[in-house]
Amino acid sequence: MRFLRWSMYGFMALVLAGGWAFLYWQSSAVDLAAGDAARSALNGLRAIDARWNDQLVAARLASRSGPEPQPARHGRAYAALEIEALRLPHPQMGIALSAVKSAFDEKAKLMQRIAAGEALFDQAWLSPAGPRLDVLSRVLDRAFEDALTQAELYRVWLLYYSAFLLAILAYLVSQLYQANVGLERRVAERTRELSQALDKLKESEAMLVQSEKMSSLGQMVAGLAHEVNTPLAYVKASLESVRARVGDAGRIAQETDRLLELLSAGQTDEAALAAQFKAVQELVRDKRFDALEAQVKDGLYGIGQISELVANLKDFSRLDRSKVAEYDLHGGIESTLRIARHQLGGRSVRKVFGDIPPVACSPSQVNQVLLNLIVNAAQATREQGGAIVVRTGMRDAQRVAIEVSDNGHGIPEDVLPRIFDPFFTTKDAGKGTGLGLAICYKIVESHGGKLEVQSKPGVGTRFTVVLPVSAAPALAA
């Protein structure tokens, strides 16, 4: 529809331009050179006719005395007159030219016969060549005047038409100005809408990243519960043992208080004092409290492990995504491996840590990248025989590299270019959102780094996270 409308506009513009060109051509269509050439040829025929008349006079005199004159030729002059005269269109031009030609041809024959000795002076003298030249001259003048009048009329039409085109042009300019103003207003509105949409998109992206993070953490709840159960058993057993000895400790305290009262009395029965002392001694000997300290230590150790797991979980689930700090990547890897311990199962994990400096980054986001890559590596390998290697080192003087490689099934070549696309997944329905690697790629990109992948089906996959040591300007802002 738009193409049809613009085609119609183009056709209208072409018609208007063609009308103006036609009027301009018609207004300048008077051929002045043709008029001058026609008059010059007409004067040439007049000269020929005059020469013939002079020859007639001379021939009449020669009939009495002297030689006979030769007639002048007129064909070339008439041909030139005909060519130029026909360039000035007039309805009577052809008739006048034919009459002139007939008259001159007839007079030329008479002149030849007179030259041959015939006495045809009166017929030749009365030839209508001269009057017909006068008629042709008037026709030429009228044709030239008509051409000038027509050209002047076309000039007037051209003037009005030009004024009409200027009016159209002015209208189009005004419409263009109004359209430009409207376009600027719409662009401003559209820019504002896009800005609002961008803000909403950023909010949605943050919520989506957090949702993916919590989704990953939700898959580990069972594993974390198992990890918490072991130290919790330490705490429970220790507290139960302590509780069992609390009553004995209370009895010892009561008997000890009675012994102290007897000792404090001024007159004390020695037998009662000895009996009380023996009772306290037997209680202390029977109730062994030497293991109580070890049980308390076991409980504190279990509480420490639970506290560590809770701290790791808190680090991964916190919402301060914009916080940028100097971060120890090795500590982050250790924390991530503890969080993902249940997902790793019986797979072997080898850590090859190089000498790298702390990196200015968002720790929560980097932890999420590490967690996604390690969990993906675990899911790509078998429970028994699966091997994962986490390696760190310097890519160059300003960048560090973290490699997570596995000996899993690898990624097919036709799938490899699409693994970072949002919502693309090769997992079964309900087992993956297809956002893990896309979010990792986005996080690494926002840090001014890059996420590389090399994979060979049947051999394994290696993901490499390259991060700058200094925070990227966009991330720092």
- Predicted confidence (pLDDT) at residue 71 exceeds the cutoff of 70: no
Q: Which residue has the tokens 């301060």?
A: 320
Enumerate residues 6+ apart whose C-beta is below 8 A from 159.
none
**What's the average model confidence in pLDDT over 299-327?**
66
- Predicted confidence (pLDDT) at residue 402 exceeds the cutoff of 90: yes
| Highest mean pLDDT pick, 135-139, 288-292, 452-456 | 452-456
Query: Phi and psi for 142 in degrees, rounded to 5?
Result: -65, -40
According to DSSP, residue 417 is labeled G
Q: What pLDDT is attached to residue 65?
A: 38
| 178 or 265: which leads in pLDDT | 178
Q: What pLDDT is attached to residue 319?
A: 43
| Highest mean pLDDT pick, 34-48, 260-274, 305-319, 417-431 | 34-48
In the chain, the percentage of residues whose pLDDT exceeds 70 is 65
Q: What pLDDT is attached to residue 325?
A: 83
Q: What pLDDT is attached to residue 357?
A: 92
| Highest mean pLDDT pick, 68-77, 245-254, 313-322, 407-416 | 407-416
Give, in order, the Cα–Cα distances in Å from 173 to each of 160, 170, 382: 20, 5, 73
Question: How far apart are alpha carbons 325 and 335 in whole angstroms?
Answer: 17
Arithmetic mean of pLDDT over the chain: 76
| 294 or 360: which leads in pLDDT | 360
Question: How far apart are alpha carbons 360 and 474 in whole angstroms?
Answer: 13
Question: How far apart are alpha carbons 36 and 474 in whole angstroms?
Answer: 83
Q: Which two tokens stand for residue 432?
A: 């993956």
Give, in order, the Cα–Cα distances in Å from 96 to each of 13, 82, 124: 44, 10, 20
Query: Phi and psi for 42 in degrees, rounded to 5?
Result: -65, -40
At residue 401 the predicted structure's pLDDT band, cuts being 50, 70 and 90, is: very high
- Convert the pLDDT of each residue in 155-171 to its tens digit: 888 888 888 888 888 88
Sheet holding 387-396, edge to edge: 348-352, 387-396, 399-406, 460-468, 450-456
At residue 123 the predicted structure's pLDDT band, cuts being 50, 70 and 90, is: confident
Question: How far apart are alpha carbons 304 and 316 in whole angstroms?
Answer: 18
At residue 390 the predicted structure's pLDDT band, cuts being 50, 70 and 90, is: very high
User: What is the residue-wise DSSP string for 132-190?
Assistant: HHHHHHHHHHHHHHHHHHHHHHHHHHHHHHHHHHHHHHHHHHHHHHHHHHHHHHHHHHH
- Predicted confidence (pLDDT) at residue 399 exceeds the cutoff of 50: yes
* DSSP strand pairing (387-396 vs 450-456): unpaired
According to DSSP, residue 432 is labeled -
**What topology does CATH give the domain 234-309?**
Four Helix Bundle (Hemerythrin (Met), subunit A) (1.20.120)
User: Which pTM value belongs to this model?
Assistant: 0.47
At residue 100 the predicted structure's pLDDT band, cuts being 50, 70 and 90, is: confident
The residues spanned by each domain of the chain are 2-179, 234-309, 320-476
Q: What pLDDT is attached to residue 388?
A: 92
Domains 234-309 and 320-476 share a fold: no
Range in 212-216, 343-347, 349-353, 464-468 the model is least confident about? 212-216
Length of the chain: 477
Q: What pLDDT is attached to residue 64?
A: 47
- Convert the pLDDT of each residue in 226-274 to its tens digit: 566 666 665 666 666 666 666 666 666 776 777 676 667 666 667 776 7
Question: How far apart are alpha carbons 99 and 129 in whole angstroms?
Answer: 8
Q: What pLDDT is attached to residue 68?
A: 46
The architecture in CATH of the region 320-476 reads 2-Layer Sandwich (3.30)
Task: Please return the burial class of 397, using the count of CB atoms within 10 Å of its CB with bins 0-12, 13-18 and 19+.
Answer: exposed
Q: What pLDDT is attached to residue 67?
A: 39
- Predicted confidence (pLDDT) at residue 174 exceeds the cutoff of 80: yes
Q: What pLDDT is attached to residue 462?
A: 93
The answer to whether 404 and 388 are in contact (CB under 8 A) is yes
Question: How far apart are alpha carbons 5 and 29 in whole angstroms?
Answer: 36
Range in 322-326, 357-361, 440-444, 455-459 the model is least confident about? 322-326
Question: What is the rounded radius of gyration, in angstroms, for the C-alpha atoms of the chain?
Answer: 59
Question: How far apart are alpha carbons 30 and 148 in whole angstroms?
Answer: 6
**Ramachandran area for residue 410 (φ above 0: left; ψ -120 to 50: alpha; else beta):** left
